[in-house]
């Protein structure tokens, strides 16, 4: 009887999802944002039944939105007209591709081309013309680093703004035998902090929640050509200052990526003489902890299909995450210097009721390590509808001339069909390593239970990391520990008043050694978040901490904290204004005891977006720490100046300095998108020393020009 009830509930949920039938077009539209083409005529069927997600859940929108969708064998076309009674207040401050779109009015389209609620795509257009695309993994997690070829234009005219999309079938993986895709669309009216959607109106879920989507039907006769994509590139690098005696000043580096779509959903890529000259520079972090820190991946070869290599849980807030695969371990040293990738093969995509991902790369030798072959293999199998089981294997060690192997498996459970639109997810994973560097075999076992809903949410996690656990192609900053964390949140939404949202939470964390002796404890006793209708917020935290040091710890140059047991407390106040205004700012202040001394932490940032062409941002962090062993002030600052001439031409400048490395870095990148997929870059990276003495001496310099073209067959 219980099974019949469950099936009835599931069937009613599925039946309630909206559906829209597509009609093929004989004449594709011109993507210019004007919506004057015959296929967008007023007598065509359209989607208009949107509902609010915020600030009022499942309420009528304050503005009308019209969506028309059509397709041909090669492209999916979407036209959106966003009416606004106060069109002069439409916010259109961002035009540049792949930049932060939190400042603008925006439309986001989500596609689940397999209708399996596991992985998908999203495409965004702002009122200013900025394009952003990404992957969806694990039902609802966004991967914004992914890039592909597509066309989009927006335009403000009269009492509305429009967004027009053309998404090539060659940019998507799909089941050619199917005739329906999961689909959802969201509009954000930034000045009102209003979000409206076609399907899925829960505030706690984003539009990328694939289980809450509607569907588009009638999709037949699609083609992906011969399934071949050839992307040749050539970079010319000039390094007037050489870090090694044998480095050439001039370096001509041609290469290519050749991709074959064995099926519409499975691709194999061969890369030769891989080059990442166009990648953004890392934003520095000031690490004053005992443990290693990680940096985000910015190289496109590793970002493409990165969701297929994800393992375990993505909820790493509050503890030291361990991963079997950390893509920056391939082709980059620990301090971020590039190591040439001579060639590699990547196979990634969906195969039957699951996914596969494989990377095999040959990296060049360095001054200490011979040329190495590195392998990562990952596979998952869909089970129970929304869940999956998987395995992972990595082999190779880029750090030494020895070897290392990591193997593991995970189970990821998701149920999005609880009563009242609630969901629950759980994760279990086990990893083992055999490392020449560690000298022993060891393992990691972990689990997590998450109930991410409103008004109440809770998350419980735990992991055991062996003393000799050493994933050479992964990341494990704190071996030899048990780690436990929990979090509980209670959210109150108010329809009127100055404060519209209040969140009360707690998030304790405990780490012990393998014998159960406490190493770190962060109580996070009380956390309060207050938000107003415009999106301004105040965040207040009070917590107590304890740390046990078994050996000396150098927190800063010349300052070494002695072993011992330390207890201290800290308060945090964080104030931030909404990104929906031309000016945006924030300040965070922390204070309290720190080990046997005291800390005062100040972090401030300000952004200015006077138009869709110009952006300026300044961030500065100061940590003043006074300890019996010594006192110091750690400073870190950066400044960004971006000018976007058009959605296809931009110039970005990024300056940064910290007084720990005493390096002043400059990064300048000019990007010209001749057309989507065909790009030209000019990049300058320069580091200087002795900036505090105002006698800058260049210590590292590199100028790179890269041209990359995409040919599809």
Q: What is the pLDDT of residues 520-575, one digit of tens each?
A: 999 887 889 999 988 899 999 998 999 999 999 899 988 999 999 999 999 999 99
Share of the chain above pLDDT 70, in %: 95
Residue 711 corresponds to which tokens in the numbers above?
A: 């040919």
Summarize pLDDT for 582-613 with one digit per residue, the tens: 899 999 999 999 999 999 999 999 999 998 89
pLDDT for 483 equals 94
**What is the tens place of the pLDDT at every residue in 460-490?**
999 999 999 999 999 998 999 999 999 999 9
Please choose, from the candidates 164, 165, 189, the residue with its C-alpha nearest in 3D space to the C-alpha of residue 34.
164
Per-residue pLDDT averaged across 353-360, rounded?
92
The DSSP string of 239-302 is -SS-SSTT--SEEEEEEEEEEEEEETTEEEEEEEEE--TTSPPPPP----SSS--------HHH
Region 658-679 average pLDDT: 91
Cross-strand bridge partners of residue 30: none
pLDDT of residue 12: 43
Q: Is CATH 1.10.10.10 the classification given to domain 17-217?
A: no
The pLDDT value given to residue 20: 94
Q: Residue 101: pLDDT above 80?
A: no
pLDDT of residue 8: 41
pLDDT of res. 7: 41
pLDDT of residue 689: 86
Contact 404, 473 (CB under 8 A): yes
For residues 512-517, average pLDDT: 93
DSSP annotation of 628: T
* In the chain, domain spans: 17-217, 285-482
More confident residue, 472 or 14: 472
Residue 223 has pLDDT above 80, yes or no: yes
List of residues 6+ apart from 121 with CB closer than 8 A:
110, 111, 113, 133, 134, 135, 136, 172
pLDDT tens track for 607-634? 999 988 999 999 999 999 999 999 999 9
Return d(Cα 406, Cα 299) in angstroms, integer. 23
**pLDDT value at residue 631:** 93
Dist. CA 248–CA 241, nearest whole Å: 10
Q: Residue 254 in contact with residue 231, Cβ under 8 Å?
A: no
- What is the model's pLDDT at position 316? 54
Pick 312 or 376 by higher pLDDT: 376
Give pLDDT tens digits for 267-305.
899 998 887 878 888 888 888 888 888 888 888 888 878
Q: What is the mean pLDDT of the chain?
A: 88
Of residues 101 and 104, more confidence is placed in 104
Distance, CA of 396 to CA of 329 (rounded, Å): 10
pLDDT of residue 467: 94
- Do the beta carbons of residue 58 and residue 52 sit within 8 Å? yes
2 Cβ neighbours under 8 A, 6+ residues apart: none
Mean pLDDT of 65-78: 95
Q: Residue 186: what pLDDT?
A: 96
**Quick one: what percent of the chain has pLDDT higher than 90?**
55
Ramachandran category for residue 187: left, alpha or beta (phi over 0 → left; psi -120 to 50 → alpha): beta
């Amino acid at each position: 009887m219980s099974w019949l009830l469950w099936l009835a509930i599931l069937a009613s949920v599925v039946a309630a999802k909206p559906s829209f039938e597509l009609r093929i077009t004989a004449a594709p539209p011109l993507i210019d944002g004007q919506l004057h083409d015959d296929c967008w005529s007023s007598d065509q069927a359209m989607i208009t039944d949107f509902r609010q997600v915020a600030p009022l859940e499942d309420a009528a929108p304050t503005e009308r939105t019209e969506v028309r969708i059509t397709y041909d064998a090669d492209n999916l076309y979407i036209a959106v007209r966003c009416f606004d009674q106060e069109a002069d207040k439409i916010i259109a401050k961002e035009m540049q591709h792949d930049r932060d779109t939190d400042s603008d009015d925006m439309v986001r389209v989500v596609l689940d081309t397999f209708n399996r609620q596991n992985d998908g795509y999203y495409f965004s257009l702002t009122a200013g013309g900025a394009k952003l695309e990404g992957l969806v993994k694990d039902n609802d997690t966004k991967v914004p680093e992914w890039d592909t070829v597509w066309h989009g234009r927006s335009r403000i005219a009269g009492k509305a703004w429009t967004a027009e999309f053309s998404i090539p079938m060659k940019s998507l993986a799909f089941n050619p035998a199917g005739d329906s895709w999961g689909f959802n669309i969201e509009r954000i009216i930034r000045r009102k902090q209003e979000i409206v959607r076609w399907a899925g109106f829960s505030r706690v879920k984003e539009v990328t929640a694939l289980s809450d989507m509607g569907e588009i039907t009638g999709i037949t006769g699609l083609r992906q050509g011969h399934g071949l994509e050839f992307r040749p590139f050539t970079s010319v690098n000039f390094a007037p200052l050489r870090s090694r005696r044998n480095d050439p000043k001039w370096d001509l580096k041609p290469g290519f990526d050749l991709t074959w779509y064995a099926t519409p959903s499975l691709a194999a890529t061969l890369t030769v003489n891989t080059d990442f000259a166009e990648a953004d520079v890392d934003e520095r972090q000031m690490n004053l902890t005992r443990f290693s820190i990680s940096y985000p991946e910015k190289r496109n070869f590793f970002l493409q299909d990165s969701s297929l290599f994800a393992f375990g849980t993505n909820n790493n807030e509050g503890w030291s995450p361990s991963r079997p695969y950390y893509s920056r371990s391939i082709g980059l040293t620990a301090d971020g210097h590039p190591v040439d990738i001579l060639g590699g093969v990547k196979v990634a995509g969906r195969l039957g009721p699951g996914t596969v991902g494989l990377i095999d790369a040959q990296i060049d030798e360095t001054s200490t390590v011979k040329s190495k072959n590195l392998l990562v293999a990952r596979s998952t199998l869909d089970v129970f509808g929304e869940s999956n089981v998987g395995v992972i294997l990595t082999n190779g060690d880029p750090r030494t001339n020895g070897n290392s192997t990591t193997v593991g498996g995970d189970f990821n459970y998701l149920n999005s069909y609880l009563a009242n639109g609630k969901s629950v997810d759980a994760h279990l994973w086990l990893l083992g390593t055999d490392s020449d560097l560690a000298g022993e075999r060891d393992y990691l076992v972990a689990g997590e239970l998450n109930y991410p809903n409103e008004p109440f949410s809770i998350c419980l996690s735990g992991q055991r990391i062996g003393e000799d656990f050493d994933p050479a192609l992964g990341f494990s900053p704190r071996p030899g520990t048990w780690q436990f964390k929990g979090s509980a949140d209670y959210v109150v939404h108010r329809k009127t008043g100055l404060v519209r949202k209040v969140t009360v939470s707690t998030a304790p964390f405990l780490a012990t050694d393998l014998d159960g002796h406490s190493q770190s404890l962060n109580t996070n006793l009380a956390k309060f978040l207050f938000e107003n209708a415009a999106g301004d917020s105040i965040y207040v935290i009070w917590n107590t901490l304890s740390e046990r040091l078994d050996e000396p710890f150098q927190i800063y140059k010349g300052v070494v904290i002695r072993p011992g047991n330390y207890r201290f407390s800290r308060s945090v106040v964080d104030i931030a204004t909404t990104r929906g205004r031309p000016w945006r700012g924030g300040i965070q202040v922390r204070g309290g005891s720190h080990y046997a001394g005291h800390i005062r932490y100040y972090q401030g940032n300000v952004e200015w977006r006077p138009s869709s062409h110009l952006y300026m941002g300044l961030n500065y962090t100061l940590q003043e720490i006074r300890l019996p062993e010594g006192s110091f002030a750690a400073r870190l600052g950066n400044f960004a100046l971006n000018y976007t001439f058009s959605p296809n031409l931009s110039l970005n400048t990024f300056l940064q300095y910290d007084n720990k490395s005493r390096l002043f870095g400059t990064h300048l990148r000019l990007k010209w998108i001749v057309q989507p997929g065909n790009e030209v870059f000019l990049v300058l990276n320069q580091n200087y020393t002795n900036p505090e003495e105002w006698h800058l001496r260049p210590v590292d310099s590199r100028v790179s020009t890269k041209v990359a073209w995409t040919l599809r067959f």
